[in-house]
Chain A
């Protein structure tokens, strides 16, 4: 058991070591390319994809960062060429308003419908108070029960 724990610790330690020795640039390239969608295999990020274009774009991102460009500049570079499609996190603007606000609108509509339904139901209950005949019947039942 002790051996196992020691082994696990060692494994974790080497992992940490590997991450820390990776340069800052590597980390930035990896972080950025994970947010960009590969255009050839559309369900992969540029970081994951082995497609030729993805490799080229990784190279491009690395070179831009080496040249001192900011993350935002790299993202703009990609959007200029491939459109918002390359971003996994599309910006909010008029053409994407429905995308961003749609869920909120649906949620509010659902809450609205729920409240409306509740009100209607309580109104239905208020609207029809029991009349005299019904009350008399109920009383009779209750008194009968007492006698038994």
Chain B
């Protein structure tokens, strides 16, 4: 009889645990199916006077970051100083994917806020963005020397994200 009286309490505790877990999850963050898969190929014009193309294959053998950004993206502005600071440490190449932007606006933006990118490539119609499953700018992909995506950051890179999530993985990949 006593055990029976405890059943509602147990159900309540179970529910509370599930709800508490639910509270810590961010429903806007959709796990990417691309993790540990080969990065989708691209061949895009660079955002500079030369306008030369950059291909995925050009990055073979390097551990690098692909940072999706746009001058119209508000959250990119929060992220930008972190990237600029990080780029000064010269840890790895950071390639910018200028997503659905105008060249003039993008160049203005880099002039104004600094340019952390080794180079930026232009994805004006957002097709490469679709291939990478981009749905909210900024997004950042960590890609290894074999051209596989190893980590995806959705939303701005904060100093905490950089120290806790990105740097340890970068070190591990560069060591390997």
Residue ranges of A at the interface with B (Cβ–Cβ < 8 Å):
39-40, 42, 52-53, 56-57, 60, 79-85
Contact = CB atoms under 8 A, between A and B. Distances in A.
B126 A81 contact: no
B30 A82 contact: yes
Contacts of A39: 30, 135-136
A79 B32 CA distance: 10
Given A60-B130, A81-B130, A53 B135 contact: yes
A135 B48 CA distance: 104
Name the prevailing secondary structure of the B interface residues.
Answer: loop
A52 B135 contact: no
A95 to B, nearest CB: 11
A79 B33 contact: yes
Name the prevailing secondary structure of the A interface residues.
Answer: helix
5 contacts: A52-B126, A81-B130, A81-B132, A83-B31, A83-B133
Contacts of B126: 52-53, 56
Contacts of B34: 81
A79 B34 CA distance: 10
B8 interface: no
B28 interface: yes
B131 A81 contact: yes
A106 to B, nearest CB: 12
Nearest to A38: B135
A80 B37 CA distance: 10
A82 B135 contact: yes
A39 B130 CA distance: 11
A75 to B, nearest CB: 13
